[in-house]
Structure 1
Amino acid sequence: MTGVTNEPQAASWLSAIWAARYRTPARFVALIALLLPWTTTGLIFALIPWLIAFAFLDLRAFPRSLLRPVCLLPIALVTLAAIGTLWSDAPWPDRIHAIGPSAKLLVIPLLIYQFERWPYGHWVFFAFLASCAALMLYSFAVATDPALSLKLYLSRGPYRVESGIAVRNYIDQSQEFALCAVALIYPIVSLLRQPHIGIAALFAALAIGFLANMIFVVVSRTALVTLPILVVVFAFLYLRLRAALLAAGAMALAAVLLFGVSPHLRTTVAKFQADYEASEDGQVSGMGARLEYWRKSLGFIADAPLVGHGTGAIRSLFANAAVDARDDPLRGEIVGDPHNQTLSVAVQWGVVGVLILYGLWFAHLSMFRGEGLACWIGLLVVVQNMLTSLLNTHLFDFTPGWIYVLGVGVAGGMALAGGRKS
């Protein structure tokens, strides 16, 4: 009798151990999402236990999984970056360092494989949302008292704290808040249809908080341009045509009203015209600098259109071009980033690199053609990255790049799993 009664207990223990084997890697990914808005070092350290836990999963189908375009293209771009060091004229430390920004893309195939098989991706979404919500509340506090900013203690030497910037910079913060605000639209609409008014009201309050922070505290011009486009994408994908047109009209009206009541928003918008006028007068400005970077980058691409100048060559190319423009602060500026993802790839790896980059984006977009929260989040992450990469190198930058990796990897795995079951 003792042996018989112990068999169910032993089976339940084995089942619990087996389930924990797959929950543990998901918890580490959720921890990475929780740390992403706050710390770079913490995120890197959190990767180590996740990689160890990933190694204990059932990996028999993993090699076959890597052959799919959604996994193969990120690997191809990183491989090209590594091979591109062979024909670069940059110093070897610069070449090796330039591989790093693309190396994070290697995590995407691992995440897709994990979350395609084990349904714990919602942990990652909630962890990122909760972390951004805490950052949003902290940002309001810093706007009231800048001495509360963590940048005072994390930066080296004296640091001027911008209004409402709690940890990093206003560009990363705006990216995170815009992503969360728009991502919440789908569950809000779904919950109202069920209806679950209480939870929908909670999510709506969070979305309003993110938007209020961007309107009244601080927002990047990149987020200001891309946010309405993301809302329009949702309206025309998930609402009927009449409702979508009404939503677009309401958004336009709200934008006009908010422009009238928010001095910060008016100041941010006014920077567009101020930068343009400064660039016309030959003065240094954000817009003028970008235009100069792009003009020079197009010249570099024309010199090596097929495979580019090699990994890490951007700074040395700008340095050579600045020799004849020492008296012009704008033309003589030396940078390692042309502030455009396509140009950054094309300068280093030519047409070959651009084809892989755009293949990667469109392959990842194709994963999110279905219905559900995972498809919406994945689609939103890819579209946001493509739009913001017109003005920045957000696939290679730390925070936006990791948002892309987590969003595509986790949501992509969940979307593929859903498609396989249906």
Structure 2
Amino acid sequence: MLSRRLRSPAAWSETVDWFAILTAASLPWSTSLAAIFNTLMLLCMLPFLDVRAFLQFLKRPICIAPIALVLLALVGTLWSDASWGARFYAVNPTVKLLVLPVLLYHFERSSRGRWVFVAFLVSCALLSVMSWLVAFYPDLSIKSDRVERGIFVKNYIDQSQEFTLCAVGLAYPIVMLLREKRYRLAGLLTALALSFFVNMVFVIVSRTALVTIPVMFGVFALLHLRWRSIAIISAALLVGAALAWQVSPQLRRTADTFASDYTRYVEKGEPTSMGLRIEFWRKSIGFFAEAPIKGHGTGSTRGLFEKVATPADQHRASSEVIGNPHNQTLNVAVQWGVIGVVVLYAIWILHLLLFRGDGLANYVGLLVVVQNVFTSLFNSHLFDFHEGWMYVIGVGVAGGMVIRAQQAETKMGEAGS
């Protein structure tokens, strides 16, 4: 029985599916487990990989763009002034993009893409429960520091990204179920979506999530709702937001930090969260202007910040040194100039265009890209481990499902004619 499965391409393909599912399920909890399952997934693809078909698939623009960014990072090591260790360390965040074409290729052929989405959703739902437990019983957290309330693993930014994607991602199936008059299941999913929002309102939420949630809901509404429904739901959301503002001190404190952080930075130069971002962006634009075409090279960012830091006053934002300017575009622009920015935006645009149709896969894929684009205004989320893998898995699985559906429609059209 075992030897038969080892010789079966279908069995190996099923194993790849399961490791993809386990990768998605483990991502909210553990970077190590996600990396292990992802490696096993890639290894299980090798025995029966159709190399010719795979290489042909890689010629598609949706595959060429992410591969081009990795190659640019490698080539960019040649003109960087950083140490070789720093150069190759800076290449590492881009390597995950090589998995994206692999997932697109596999899930074009697999029918289990939805299982990956369900695994991630269930895992995040369990994490939400754990977040509430940690909020009331902080000793349950496995983090050494207990500064972030309600965080069992990782940090509040990663958790907010997950909960936001799940909550807004459930909007599409809820609407579809309501149109089919399947009210019980729609009610269950609505309760699950609300549970994510309630957690963010009363436990902890990142400011990036507060900014991107309205954008993501706006994309959903414009694509999938009628104008009357948009008006009704918008009014309900405004009422809900006003109510949440009144009853949640945590939400008010998070929102208030926008103004207080900016004021303290402008008036006193304090290294507040927002003040540091403004300082990083201002300096990064200057670095980009010095080498606008090909940038300063891979891994050069920290050295550039060190040169312009003001160590005389260590308590001011201007003294901070960092290797990540907390903006994806500037992160790329400083290292690889306009060439890198063109490649980065090609990735986002090509993947947005991939998800132009209807259906769950198109909606999930579009939402993943939109979330990454807008959160990357405040962070380098395509290069960050957690958010970067959310993008790779989400676009890879959803994109493969979309390509599979397009091919099925083409075959049906050819058969009908």
TM-score, normalised to structure 2, is 0.94
Give the match for residue 181 of structure 1: 167
Q: What SS class does the counterpart of residue 331 from structure 1 fall into?
A: helix
Does residue 29 of structure 2 align to residue 38 of structure 1?
Answer: yes
| Conserved 8 A contact 1:151-1:161 | no
Higher mean displacement: 243-252 or 109-118: 243-252
Superposition deviation, residue 17 in structure 1: 4.3
Does residue 19 of structure 2 align to residue 28 of structure 1?
Answer: yes
Give the match for residue 76 of structure 2: 84
| Conserved 8 A contact 2:270-2:315 | no
Superposition deviation, residue 201 in structure 1: 1.9
Superposition deviation, residue 302 in structure 1: 0.6
Q: What SS class does the counterpart of residue 41 from structure 1 fall into?
A: helix
Does residue 209 of structure 2 align to residue 217 of structure 1?
Answer: no
Q: What SS class does the counterpart of residue 70 from structure 1 fall into?
A: helix
Superposition deviation, residue 421 in structure 1: 1.6
| Conserved 8 A contact 1:181-1:210 | yes
Residue of structure 1 aligned with 2:140, choices 134, 148, 153 = 148
Residue of structure 2 aligned with 1:98, choices 78, 90, 94 = 90
Give the match for residue 299 of structure 2: 312
Superposition deviation, residue 325 in structure 1: 5.5
Superposition deviation, residue 34 in structure 1: 0.7
Gaps of 5+ in 1: 1-9, 153-158
Higher mean displacement: 56-65 or 93-102: 56-65
Superposition deviation, residue 324 in structure 1: 6.9
**In structure 1, what residue type is equivalent to 2:235?**
G
Residue of structure 2 aligned with 1:63, choices 55, 58, 80 = 55
Residue of structure 2 aligned with 1:374, choices 361, 379, 382 = 361
Superposition deviation, residue 53 in structure 1: 1.1
| Conserved 8 A contact 2:133-2:140 | yes
Q: Distance in 2 between matches of 1:196 and 1:328?
A: 58
Residue of structure 1 aligned with 2:177, choices 158, 172, 191 = 191
Residue of structure 2 aligned with 1:290, choices 254, 272, 277 = 277
| Conserved 8 A contact 1:232-1:248 | no
The count of aligned residue pairs is: 405
Superposition pairs of residues 318-397 of structure 1, within 5 angstroms: 318-323=305-310, 326=313, 329-397=316-384
Higher mean displacement: 298-307 or 44-53: 44-53
Q: Distance in 1 between matches of 2:47 and 2:332?
A: 35
Give the match for residue 194 of structure 2: 208
Q: What SS class does the counterpart of residue 369 from structure 1 fall into?
A: coil
Residue of structure 2 aligned with 1:171, choices 157, 163, 175 = 157
TM-score, normalised to structure 1, is 0.93
Q: What SS class does the counterpart of residue 319 from structure 2 fall into?
A: coil
Residue of structure 2 aligned with 1:228, choices 187, 194, 214 = 214
Q: Distance in 1 between matches of 2:312 and 2:67?
A: 39
Superposition deviation, residue 189 in structure 1: 1.0
Does residue 125 of structure 2 align to residue 133 of structure 1?
Answer: yes
Q: Distance in 2 between matches of 1:42 and 1:270?
A: 37
**Per the alignment, do residues 24 and 327 of structure 1 end up closer, same or farther by CA in structure 2, a change over 3 Å counting?**
closer
Q: Distance in 2 between matches of 1:103 and 1:251?
A: 39
Q: Distance in 2 between matches of 1:231 and 1:111?
A: 27
Give the match for residue 6 of structure 1: none
Superposition deviation, residue 58 in structure 1: 4.1
Superposition deviation, residue 327 in structure 1: 5.5
Give the match for residue 255 of structure 2: 269
| Conserved 8 A contact 2:9-2:48 | no
| Deviations 1:293-321, CA, capped at 9 Å, x for gaps | 01100110011000000000000000011
Q: Distance in 1 between matches of 2:227 and 2:89?
A: 48
Aligned sequence identity (%): 52
Higher mean displacement: 228-237 or 315-324: 315-324
**In structure 1, what residue type is equivalent to 2:171?**
I
Q: Distance in 2 between matches of 1:321 and 1:195?
A: 62
**In structure 2, what residue type is equivalent to 1:414?**
M
| Conserved 8 A contact 2:169-2:367 | yes
Q: Distance in 2 between matches of 1:325 and 1:308?
A: 29
Q: What SS class does the counterpart of residue 318 from structure 2 fall into?
A: coil
Root mean square deviation of aligned Cα: 1.7
Give the match for residue 246 of structure 1: 232
Gaps of 5+ in 2: 410-417
